[in-house]
Amino acid sequence: MTEKTGFTPLSQIIGQEKAIGFLKKAVIEDRMPHSCLFVGIPGVGKRTTAMALAQAINCMAPTEGEACGTCRICRQVASGNFPDLEMVIPQGKVIKIEQIRELNRRFSYKPVSGRHRVSVVSRAELMTEEAANAFLKTLEEPPERNILILTVVETRDLLPTILSRCQKVSFRPIGADLITQRLQENLGVERDMALLLTKMCEGSLGRAMQMHMGGFLENRNSHLHRIMALPGLPPVEVLKLAMDITREEKGKGGEDLEKWDGGLLEVLSVWRTWYRDLMLVKTGGQEDLLFNADFSHKLKNAAKNYSIKSLIESVLLLDGAQRDIFRSRNVDLLIENTLLDLRRLAQQVHAELVQAGIRADVSEGSDGGAIVGPGEEHAVFVGYRGTGCVVANRDRGPCGQVIVDHIIRIHVQDKRVSHCGPAWCTGIITLCGTDDPGIHGNHRHIDRHRYRVRELILDVLRRGLQGGLRFA
**Cβ contacts of residue 105 below 8 Å, gap of 6+?**
none
For the segment 188-198, what is each residue's pLDDT rounded down to a tens digit?
A: 989 988 988 88
**Cβ contacts of residue 228 below 8 Å, gap of 6+?**
274, 298, 302
Separation of alpha carbons 317 and 311, rounded Å: 10
Collapsing DSSP states into helix, strand and coil, what is residue 8?
coil
Give mean pLDDT, residues 366-394.
Answer: 54
Task: Give the domain 10-170 fold.
Answer: Rossmann fold (3.40.50)
Separation of alpha carbons 332 and 16, rounded Å: 36
For residue 363, pLDDT over 90 is answered with no
For position 313, what pLDDT does the model report? 92
- Is this prediction's pTM over 0.85? no
For residue 318, pLDDT over 50 is answered with yes
Cα Rg for the chain, rounded, in angstroms?
29
For residue 7, pLDDT over 90 is answered with no
Give mean pLDDT, residues 390-408.
Answer: 58
Cα of 400 vs its chain's centroid, Å: 40
Highest mean pLDDT range out of 4-13, 79-88, 105-114? Answer: 79-88
DSSP 172: P
Closest CA to 340 of 373, 314, 307: 314
- The answer to whether 445 and 387 are in contact (CB under 8 A) is yes
Separation of alpha carbons 261 and 325, rounded Å: 14
pLDDT, the chain, mean = 76
Give mean pLDDT, residues 113-131.
Answer: 91
DSSP 40: -
Q: In the chain, where are the structural domains located?
A: 10-170, 214-346, 358-466
- The answer to whether 342 and 230 are in contact (CB under 8 A) is yes
Closest CA to 307 of 353, 370, 355, 372: 353
For the segment 228-265, what is each residue's pLDDT rounded down to a tens digit?
A: 999 888 889 999 999 998 888 765 655 555 444 347 88
| Listed range (41-45, 179-183, 374-378, 452-456) with the worst mean pLDDT | 452-456
- The answer to whether 380 and 394 are in contact (CB under 8 A) is yes
For residue 87, pLDDT over 80 is answered with yes
For position 101, what pLDDT does the model report? 92
Give mean pLDDT, residues 61-76.
Answer: 90
CATH code given to domain 214-346: 1.20.272
